[in-house]
Amino acid sequence: MTASAPRYMARFRCIAEACEDTCCAGLTVPISESRWSLLRQKVAGGPDEARVTALITPNPDGATGQQAGILGKRADGHCAFLDETKLCSLQSRYGEAVLPDGCSVFPRVLTRWGAQVEMAGSLACPETARLCLLAEDALVREPVPEAQALRPQMARQVASGADAWTAHADVVREAMLRLLARSDVPFAARLYALGRMALDLGDFYFPGTTAFTDDAAKTAAASDATQEPLPTAEARLADILRTYDATDTLHTLRDQLEALELPGGPWAGICAAVLRSREAQVGSQRYLSLVRDVRASYGGADTAPDDAWRLHVTRREALASLHGERVHQYFLNHALNHVLRHPFTEAPSLLNAVFLLVLRASVVRYVLLGHPAVVALLDTPGTPVATLDAAAVESFQLVAKHVEQAPQFLDFAQGLAGEGPETFARLLILVKGL
């Protein structure tokens, strides 16, 4: 097996009890039948046997296999097996092998592309967020020792090549990463270009497409000397990706986006609604405190979306003038990591995957520009950039942990996106907010 990872994950080491937001809190952790059985064997006849029996219960949904059991939580939301030093009592006594897969692998996210295992990271971990956002070279991909992938058998399979959607996924993903990395157009224009590229591909490149397998029939039909050969789906795919590599294309799209006038109130309203929808579901005081501060900074719960938008634009321009390159690095690294962390093949379409990226970036942008430390920084421009970095890490991390993967958020995103051209029109509203 070979493995690769962006450089920030090659650098990652858990900081354990020094972490400001332990992963052993706020998350529901399943345990597989095999790990549960191994743990019961390890504790049999010992002082932890009764505790393991009491604190790990069958999945209330009746799931088996990988989701067979659920680890219990304390009243404060922390894992019942976390000790007084904020370390896992199971791992310290019985070793890493007894840990549920999620505990062992997190914050690593493993994906198998053909024979290659790739390791990306979840920004729900504060240390991962720091390493990803704050280093310019964080997203440079490089080989890593196989041991760093920990449990490669847990990697999800993406590019099996069994169908055209996954067979061409790697070349499409590389085109996405190249486009995001372009420095000759603003970041929002790159996201706009991603959406346009996805829209252009969408009529023949999608889950279940037969366009590529139908190419042989097209070639046979064109064998008559009076017919021009029809372009194959593979040729169309390559041509579209090549178009979006072209400087002229990107500059034209940049100009289109800059000329586009759209109301900003809907953008602010969407971001505020996402945060509001999660408050009743989240017990983390760090998250709830930040959301309350952000809401207050935009004028409170009753402020009109248009008023929040005007305040957002003022702050966005002021922060860009002070620390534009630094803020750009945060969002570029977040986007690159998103493409690696969330294979687009999991989405209903490429356009839907791009929409979800832009929605997640929009929510974090809204939170960052409402973060009390950033609001204070804009009032005192001499504040060290480390203050901005800390606010960014907290904003990205809390949104990643409590919003981005929540089923309610994903359902909301799917409903908001719509389908096809409708998705692209709504994507434009989000892009203009960035």
pLDDT grade for 288, boundaries at 50, 70 and 90 = very high
Report the DSSP pairing between strands 108-113 and 156-157.
parallel
pLDDT at 401: 94
Positive or negative: CA dihedral 287, 290, 294, 295: positive
* Contact yes or no for 56/71 (Cβ under 8 A): yes
**Sheet of strand 30-31, all strands in order from the earlier edge strand to the far edge:** 30-31, 69-71, 56-58
The pLDDT tens digits for 215-268 are: 655 555 555 555 566 678 999 999 999 999 999 999 999 999 999 999 999 999
Q: How far apart are CA 115 and CA 139, in angstroms?
A: 21
- Amino acid (one-letter) located at 190: R
Name the residue with tokens 């990591």: 337
> Torsion angle of alpha carbons 284, 289, 294, 295, nearest 10°?
100
SS3 category, 431: helix
- CB-based contacts of 21, cutoff 8 Å, min separation 6: 126, 284, 286, 397, 398, 401
Q: In the 8-state DSSP scheme, what is residue 348?
A: S
Smallest Cα–Cα separation from 298: which of 272, 317, 273?
272
Average pLDDT along the chain: 90
* Contact yes or no for 9/119 (Cβ under 8 A): yes
The pLDDT tens digits for 6-49 are: 999 999 998 888 888 888 877 778 888 888 888 888 888 888 88
Q: How far apart are CA 357 and CA 336, in angstroms?
A: 10
Q: How far apart are CA 195 and CA 198, in angstroms?
A: 5
Distance of CA 81 to CAs 54, 78, 177, 219, 394, Å? 11, 8, 40, 63, 26
pTM of the model: 0.90
